[in-house]
Amino acid sequence: MKKDKIINRRDFIQTGIRTGIGAGLGIIGFGLISRSVEGKTIWQLDPAKCVQCGNCATECVLQASAVKCIHVTDMCGYCDLCSGFFRPGALELTTGAENKLCPTGAIVRTYVEEPYFEYRIIEELCNGCGKCVQNCGAFGNGSLQLQVRQDLCVNCNQCAIARSCPAEAYSRVEPETAYLLKGFEELKITD
């Protein structure tokens, strides 16, 4: 008889606390859902703020960063003397490795017609260091720009590059504006 009474008291306390926790969860849940965003926001860097410090290559949780150099071809001047392709002070303007700026040789060029060359980025090789972006921006048209490749990015809760970005260029954006390329209005998006 006495034992029953003890159990009942314990049950009563348990039920009370359970109801309390349930109500708490409900309040938090509904409070947050009312101002949540449907779907998700994704990380992107603003090339207008980017200072090409090189952290994108080293800080990403992925080995071979999800940040890649994107070549906005519409902005390119097709120069023979491309400041994003050749190392400053290169001895010869040939495609020899010692003359190239890109440490991984990810930029290739093909002859179009006198005096123009087409530049292409082999994305598998690009490590997102931004060396070419810096020189193209300083001396060229700025058609080489760093961007988070949304198909590679694993969308970490807190982007490791964003945490160490000296220019605070990273922010979460809506999927509709997944790329923030500058100086370029219309984007042709491919899957």
Partner 1 sequence: MKNRSFKVILLLVISLVAINLFGQRFPAPEFETGYEVPETQIALAKPIFYEILDIIIFLATLTLITWVIIKKRSRRAVFWISIFSLLYFGFYRKGCICPVGSLQNVTMAIFNPEYNIPLTAIIFFIAPLGYTLFFGRTFCAGVCPLGAIQDLVALRPVSLKRWLRYLLGLIPFLYLGLALLFAATGTDFIVCRYDPFVGFFRRNGTFMMLSVGGLLLLAGVFIARPYCRFLCPYGVLLNLVSRFSWKHLSIANGSCTNCKLCENACPYDAIDKPTGLEVKSDNRELVKKLMVYGFITPLLMVLTGWTVSKYHEDFAHVNFKVRLAKQMMTLDDSQITELPEEVTTFQASGTPIEELYKEAASIVHDFHVGSWIIGGFIGLVLGLTLSKLTIYQYRDEYLTNKGNCYSCARCIDYCPVK
Minimum CB separation of residue 92 from partner 1 in Å reads 19
End-to-end CA distance of the chain: 72
Work out whether 184 is an interface residue with partner 1 (CB under 8 A).
yes
**How far apart are alpha carbons 125 and 104 in whole angstroms?**
6
* Single residue of 1, 33, 124, 185 touching partner 1 by CB under 8 A: 33
Segment 35-94, which members bind partner 1 (CB under 8 A)? 35-42, 51, 53, 61-63, 70-79
Segment 100-139, which members bind partner 1 (CB under 8 A)? 112-113, 116, 118, 120, 138-139
Q: HEC string of 97-137?
A: HHHECCCCCCEEEEEEECCEEEEEECCCCCCCCCHHHHHHH
**How far apart are alpha carbons 112 and 124 in whole angstroms?**
24
Tell me the number of residues near partner 1 by CB under 8 A.
68
Instruction: Give long-range contacts, CB 8 A cutoff, 24+ apart: 29-32.
Output: none
**How far apart are alpha carbons 113 and 162 in whole angstroms?**
41
29 close to 148: Cβ distance less than 8 angstroms: no
Closer to partner 1 by CB, 97 or 112: give it: 112
Part in contact with partner 1 (CB under 8 A); list of ranges 23-31, 94-102, 126-134: 23-31
**Site residues (vs partner 1, CB under 8 A):** 14, 17-18, 21-22, 25, 28-29, 32-33, 35-42, 51, 53, 61-63, 70-79, 112-113, 116, 118, 120, 138-141, 147, 149-151, 153-158, 160, 163, 166-168, 172, 175, 178-179, 181, 184, 187-191
